Amino acid sequence: MSVLVYVEQVEGKFKKSVFEAVSYAKAIADQQGTSLSAVSIGNVADSELNELGKYGASKVLKVEADQLKNFVNQAYAAVIAEAAKKEGANIVVLSNSFSGKGLAPRVAVKLEAGLIDGAVDLPTGDFSVKKTAFSGKAFAITTLTSANKVIALNPNAFGVKENHTNITIEAFSPEVKSSDLAAIVKEIVRATNKVSLPDAEIVVSGGRGLKGPENWGMVEELADLLGAATACSKPVSDADWRPHSEHVGQTGIAISPNLYIAIGISGAIQHLAGVSSSKVIVVINKDAEAPFFKVADYGIVGDAFEVVPKIIAALKAH
């Protein structure tokens, strides 16, 4: 019995959410009195794989094959399940990222495992885990009674915890069925160099109060100064002011950054569903009665076109 964590790479590098997943998996391994292995798929340098030892992984299975160079849901799930079998792991941890959301249920089916997605805390004694439910509007405590368990951890929920461990790297070449490679991603073209929204620690978000796409310059400038990702409300992406990939909420992405700055967004329940687990919420709205103020940690009642340039000027002055 051991714990396995899948470490998702992007262009050969691990993001913070991976180190969070490793830290979380290590804490579970310690609870269970067992060791932690990781599985990495795709081309990752050994120096990057060694980083996983900082957070408690004692072994990493390195899977490198041409047909697995780019992410393929079905094939990656098969590899993770084979890695779990090889390591005798009955608990598999992944990050609940875009790809993690697709992988976790597939891995669970392959291992006949119970699944918890959107976990935000460690399991308690009877393996009950707190997780987000109803599009982030509530928390649920779910108990896994199955022998095998798959847990997808929400980004920014657990934090990164250093736990230096000697790590060994082992090549692993499981057989992948051709049916798992029916669809192959040939090339991934990066659309932007900006901070990725699901992993961002700070998010600057705009709503219909910003009047039109021509006014997003100040949102982007503020985001750049803070090292933040940009997001928006649904009507904004519906109107093509911003790309749909930035739409947060019940029908968009659910995020939980350390700081969420909402500019000209009313705070409708469907929007809050995707952002209410942010650690600190700052609302800028000219209507003091806007519902968003009820969940805000800090609020500025004022015209965004006056307030935001002043914040930008103050940040530049520092």
CB-CB contact of 206 with 230 (8 Å): yes
Which string of x and - marks every residue 169-188 that binds ligand FAD (by CB under 6 A)?
--------------------
Task: Beginning with the edge strand found earlier in the chain, give each strand of the sheet holding 280-285 in spatial order.
Answer: 229-232, 202-206, 259-263, 280-285, 298-301
Angle, helices 304-317 vs 217-226, to 10°: value is 30
* Residue ranges of the binding site: 208, 264-271, 285
Structure tokens at 153: 């951890």
274 binds ligand FAD (CB under 6 A): yes
Report which residue type is found at 109. Answer: V
132 binds ligand FAD (CB under 6 A): no
271 binds ligand FAD (CB under 6 A): yes
User: Between residues 35 and 132, which has the closer beta carbon with respect to ligand FAD?
Assistant: 132
User: Between residues 35 and 233, which has the closer beta carbon with respect to ligand FAD?
Assistant: 233
Segment interacting with ligand FAD, rule: CB under 6 A, options 101-109, 143-151, 215-223, 233-241: 233-241
304 binds ligand FAD (CB under 6 A): yes
What's the first-to-final CA gap in the chain, in angstroms? 53
Instruction: Reduce the DSSP state of residue 272 to 3 states and report it.
Output: helix
Q: Give the shortest CB-185-to-ligand FAD separation in angstroms.
A: 27
Burial class of residue 182 (count of CB atoms within 10 Å of its CB; 0-12, 13-18, 19+): exposed
Q: Using CB under 6 A, which of 46, 303, 310, 314 touches ligand FAD? A: 303
Q: Give the shortest CB-200-to-ligand FAD separation in angstroms.
A: 17
Q: Using CB under 6 A, which of 208, 213, 215, 225 touches ligand FAD? A: 208
Q: Using CB under 6 A, which of 118, 136, 207, 299 touches ligand FAD? A: 207
Residue 226: how many other CB atoms lie within 10 Å? 19
270 binds ligand FAD (CB under 6 A): yes
42 binds ligand FAD (CB under 6 A): no
Q: Using CB under 6 A, which of 209, 229, 246, 276 touches ligand FAD? A: 209
Residue 277 DSSP class: T
Segment interacting with ligand FAD, rule: CB under 6 A, options 27-35, 52-60, 83-91, 230-238: 230-238
Q: Where are the beta strands (DSSP E) in 74-166?
A: 89-95, 114-119, 128-133, 138-143, 149-153
Q: Give the shortest CB-274-to-ligand FAD separation in angstroms.
A: 6
265 binds ligand FAD (CB under 6 A): yes
Segment interacting with ligand FAD, rule: CB under 6 A, options 94-102, 147-155, 201-209, 218-226: 201-209
Segment interacting with ligand FAD, rule: CB under 6 A, options 12-20, 67-75, 96-104, 247-255: 247-255
CB-CB contact of 38 with 4 (8 Å): yes
User: Between residues 110 and 234, which has the closer beta carbon with respect to ligand FAD?
Assistant: 234
Q: How many chain residues bind ligand FAD (CB under 6 A)?
A: 26
Residues in 280-299 at the binding interface with ligand FAD, rule: CB under 6 A: 284-287, 290
Q: Whole-angstrom Cα distance, residue 131 to residue 32?
A: 20
Task: Transcribe 199-259 into DSSP letters.
Answer: G-SEEEEE-GGG-SGGGTHHHHHHHHHHT-EEEE-HHHHHTTSS-GGGBBSTTSB----SE
Q: Max alpha carbon distance in the chain (Å)?
A: 60
252 binds ligand FAD (CB under 6 A): yes
Angle, helices 98-111 vs 73-87, to 10°: value is 50
Please give the C-alpha separations between residue 267 and each of 23, 189, 232, 283, 293, in angstroms, as whole numbers. 33, 34, 12, 9, 8
| Positions in the binding site for ligand FAD (CB under 6 A) | 207-209, 233-236, 249-252, 264-266, 268, 270-271, 274, 284-287, 290, 303-305
